[in-house]
Amino acid sequence: MFQSLLVANRGEIAVRVIRTARRMGIRTVAVYSDADVGALHVEVADEALRIGPGPVAESYLNQAALLSAIADSGAQAVHPGYGFLSENPGFATAVGEAGTTFVGPSPEAIRAMGSKIDAKRLVASAGTPVVPGYDGADQSPKGLAEHASRIGYPLLIKASMGGGGRGMRIVSERGDFDAALAAAKREAAASFGDDTVLLERYLTAPKHIEIQILADNAGRTLSLFERDCSVQRRHQKVIEEAPAPGMDPPTRRAMGEAAVSAARAVGYVGAGTVEFVTESGEFYFLEMNTRLQVEHPVTEAVTGLDVVEWQLRIAAGESLSFDQDDLGLDGHAVEARIYAENARRDFLPSTGMLHWVSFPGDVRVDSGVRSGSAVSAHYDPMMAKVVAHGVDRQQAVARLRGALREIEIAGAAHNVAWLANVLDHPAFVAGSYTTGTVEESADMLVPKPDPHAVAIAAVATVLKRRRRDPWSLGDAFQANLPHEQTLRVGRGPERFDVRIVADEVGFRVYGPDGEVRLEAPALAEDGFFRATANGQLVGARTVLLDGHAFVMRNGGTERIDFVTSDAGAFAEVVEAGGRVLAPMPGQVVSVAVSEGDRVRPGDVLMVVEAMKMEHEVRAPGPGTVTAVRFAPGERVEEGVELVGLDDDKGPSAS
C-alpha cells in the first residue's frame, strides 16, 4: 500500500478522500489555491502545498503547478477526486511519467470513455442501445442545425467532454437552436477546454439510472448495483438514492451486465460509473464517468463497501477480495447535495463568509465547509452532501428529511429548505419522479418565507443590545412602561418598517407577516432564541451581525437586514434609477445590447459566468439602454451596475 497520497482537488471530496486514506495509515497531502488558504481540506491533511491564485485555470487546472506539488511532496500516488483534472488523460499520463501512481483508470480508458461521442460509438458497436442522435465531426452551426432538424425537436445539445450539466441545452424548436448551440459551445469550452458537442433526441419523461462498477487488474469487473439520479435541476443531480425505486431484478441484472461489458471493452481498472436513461421499460447508454461520482456514498451505504478504499487498493495492485455473488443490497440510502445558491432568485450561486455551520451528527455528512469557511465565486457551489440510510426507502427518506431540518448555515444562501420540499413532493414520495419533475414543479418547490423570522430577528437584536448596553441605548425603551421602536428592515429586495411594542410579558411585532406576539423571549449566548410565538413554541438559531441577522429554523435560513432611514432611501433611489445590477460576482461572457437600444421585458442584456455556469441578465421591463458598464472578459462584483435603463425596476437573472 502507498505510504503517501496527494489529493489533487478541494472541498468536500478532498476531505472525504483524505479521511479514508488516513484511516488506512496513508500520509495525506492537500493542495490549495489562494482562495482556499483556510479551507477544511487544508486543515485535515497532514501536509498542504499552495498551487496558485484562486481562478481554477491558475491552480486546480494548472498541471504544471500540480506536478510540481507532487514532486515536492514526495507523494507515491495522486487521487484526482472528481471534476477538475479527474478525467484528463494528459494529466493521468503526466502523473505516471513522473513515477507516481494515478488513482484511476488508464489514460487510454479515460480517453475512450471521456468523450461522450467516442463512448457512444464504442458501446453501440458492442450492442448496447444508445439514444438516437448525431455525434459526427461536422461541428459547424449550419451542419449541426441540419442534423437537429433530422433528429427532430425537442432535442438535447450536450458537451462531448465533462459533465455536471455544463454545456447542455434543451432546445424545443428550431428558432431557439442557434443561440442554444452558441451558449453550449461557449460553456463547454470554458469548463472543459473543448467545445465539441453532440445532439440527442430529448426523452420527455426519462429516469436517470447509473451503475457503479469496480474493476481490478486481474480482469474482475463487478457491478455495485444502481443509483437513481433523476432528481435534477438544469441537468445537475441534486438528490440520489440506491437502489432505484421500482427497479426489478431482471432489469437490474441486465443494466449491470451492460455496464460491466462497457467497462471491459476499454480494459477499465478502478471505480467508475456507467450512466443510462430509461423510459417505457427500455434503457439507453448515456455516458461513462471514469472517476469517483459525487453520489458514491449511497452505494457505499447499501453495499457496506468503501469505494475510495478500493480505489486505493486497486491502484496499489491489489485484487478484489469478493465476487459478484458476494454482493447484496442492505436497505436503502438517499443523498442530498447542499449548494450555496438562492432558490428564491432562480438558484443564483451565493458567495461569502459562512458565519455559522452545523450539521446533524446521526447521518453521514461529507462536507468541505465549517463555521468560518468562505464560499468562493471561483468554484462549484456544492458545500456538502448529507446521506441517510435505513432498512427501507421510507425510513431512509424520513431520516434524511429530519437531518435536513437540523442543518444550520448562516452566511451564503443555500438550498436546504428547497431539498426538503423535494422530499415531500408526491412524485418523490411515490418514487415515480423523472428527470423533468423538478423543473415541472419549480414554483411549488421554492421555499416560502418563514413567517416568524422578521419578528425573531428584530427581538433578538433588541435583546442583544440590551444585554450589551442596557443603560445607554437611547432606543425609547423604558423599564415597566409600554414602549415601542420602529426599525427599517430588508428581506431580499423588499424594504419595510417593523414596529416593535414591548410589554411586561414580551413583544408584539408588526411587520410584513402581520402581528407576531413573542412571549417570554430569551436569547442564549450561543445565539439560540426561544419564545412563544402567537401561542406556539418556537426556537431558532440566530446569528446577529452589524446591519443584519440570520435566522435558522427547520433547515431554512432567512437573512434579515436592518437599514437606517438614509440607507433605505438610497436603496429605493437605486431601484428607481433603472440600474440593472450584477446578481453575483463573476465574469462577463457576452453583451447583447448597446447604448440607445430599445429592450423589452425579458430581453437578454448580458451573460455573466459564475461558479462555472452562465447566467443571463435580463431586462426587467421595457426601456432604452442608457449605459453599458462592462465588456466581455471583464470581472464584476455583486451589486455593481451592469446596464443603465430608463425604467424603474430591479435586476432579473435566469
Structure confidence at residue 648 (pLDDT): 47
pLDDT-derived band at 126, boundaries 50, 70, 90? confident
Structure confidence at residue 462 (pLDDT): 87
Rounded Cα distance between 95 and 82, Å, is 16
Choice between 528 and 607, residue whose per-residue pLDDT is larger: 528
Q: Identify any residues that bridge with 271 across adjacent strands, giving them in sequence order.
A: 214
Q: Are strands 604-610 and 623-628 parallel, antiparallel or unpaired?
A: unpaired
Mean pLDDT over 570-599 rounds to 70
With a cut of 70, say whether residue 476 has pLDDT above it: no
Q: What is the DSSP letter of 130?
A: B
What percentage of residues in the chain have a pLDDT greater than 90? 70
pLDDT-derived band at 54, boundaries 50, 70, 90? very high
Least confident range of 114-128, 375-389, 632-646: 114-128
Residue with cell 436546504: 416
Task: Tell me which long-range contacts 491-499 makes (C-beta under 8 A, separation of at least 24).
Answer: 491/449, 491/453, 491/454, 491/558, 491/559, 491/560, 491/561, 492/344, 492/345, 493/575, 493/650, 495/563, 495/568, 495/571, 495/572, 498/454, 498/455, 498/458
Residue with cell 489533487: 8
641: Cβ contacts below 8 Å, ≥ 6 apart: 579, 580, 581, 582, 627, 629
Side chain identity, residue 82: Y
Active site residues: 291
Digit-coded pLDDT (tens) for 206-235: 999 999 999 999 999 999 999 999 999 988
Digit-coded pLDDT (tens) for 133-171: 898 889 999 999 999 999 999 999 999 886 667 889 999
Digit-coded pLDDT (tens) for 9-23: 999 999 999 999 999
Rounded Cα distance between 362 and 403, Å, is 8
The dihedral of CA 23, 24, 26, 28: what is its sign?
negative
The dihedral of CA 319, 324, 328, 332: what is its sign?
positive
Mean pLDDT over 289-307 rounds to 97
CB 645 within 8 A of CB 580: yes
Digit-coded pLDDT (tens) for 343-360: 998 898 899 899 999 999
Structure confidence at residue 468 (pLDDT): 61
Kindly report whether the peptide bond that precedes residue 154 is cis, defined as omega within 30 degrees of 0. yes
485 phi, psi to nearest 5 deg = -150, 145
